[in-house]
A and B are shown apart, each in its own frame.
Chain A
Amino acid sequence: MNKTEYQKAWLFVIPVFILVAFNAAVPLMTVVNYSFQETFGNNVFTWEGTRWFKQILQSDRFHAALGRQFLFTGIILFIQIPLGIFIALTMPKEGIGVSVCLVLMSMPLLIPWNVVGAMWNIFALPEIGFLGHTLNDLGFDYNFTQQTGDAWFTTVLMDVWHWTSLVVLLSYAGLRSIQPAYYQAAEIDGASRWAVFRYIELPKMKKVLTIAILLRFMDSFMIYTEPFVLTGGGPGNATAFLSIDLVKMALGQFDLGPAAAMSLIYFFIVLLVCWVFYNLMMRNEEQS
Chain B
Amino acid sequence: MKKYKWLVPTIYILFLMLPIYWLLNMSFKTTTEIINTYSLWPQKFTFENYITIFTDSTWYTGYLNSLYYVVMNTVLSVAAALPAAYAFSRYKFLGDKHLFFWLLTNRMAPPAVFALPFFQFYSSINLFDTHVAVALSHCLFNIPLAVWILEGFISAVPKELDETAYVDGYKFWRFFFRIFIPTITAGIGITMFFCFMFSWVELLLAKTLTAVAAKPIAATMTRTVSTSGYELGLLAAAGSLTIIPGAVVIYFVRNYIAKGFALGRV
Contacts and interface: CB of A to CB of B under 8 A. Distances in A.
A touching B, CB within 8 angstroms:
yes
Interface of A: 1, 3-10, 12-13, 15-17, 19-20, 22-24, 26-28, 30-31, 86-87, 90-92, 97-99, 101-115, 118-120, 122-123, 127-131, 133, 161, 164-165, 168-170, 172-174, 176-177, 207-208, 211, 218, 221-222, 224-225, 242-244, 246-247, 250-251, 256, 259, 263-264, 266-267, 270-271, 274
B99 A266 contact: no
Contact of B84 (A12, A30, A92, A99): A12
A224 B202 CA distance: 10
Given A110-B201, A110-B247, A133-B38, A102 B117 contact: no
Interface string B130-153: 000000110110011001000000
A181 to B, nearest CB: 16
A87 B9 contact: yes
B120 A208 contact: no
A165 B89 CA distance: 29
Consensus secondary structure, chain A interface: helix
Nearest to A8: B93
12 contacts: A12-B87, A16-B81, A19-B139, A19-B143, A92-B6, A99-B255, A109-B246, A112-B200, A112-B201, A127-B38, A221-B110, A246-B112
Contacts of A168: 12
B188 interface: no
Interface residues of B, number: 96
Interface of B: 5-6, 8-9, 12-13, 15-20, 22-23, 26, 34-35, 38, 40, 76, 79-81, 83-84, 86-94, 96, 99, 103-118, 120-121, 136-137, 139-140, 143-144, 147, 155, 159, 197, 200-204, 217-219, 221-222, 232, 235-236, 239, 242-243, 245-247, 249-251, 254-255, 257-262, 265-266
Contacts of A23: 106, 114, 118, 136-137, 139-140
A112 B218 contact: yes
Q: Is the interface of B mostly helix, strand, loop or mixed?
A: helix
Contacts, number: 283
Given A12-B86, A87-B12, A130 B22 contact: yes
B177 to A, nearest CB: 14
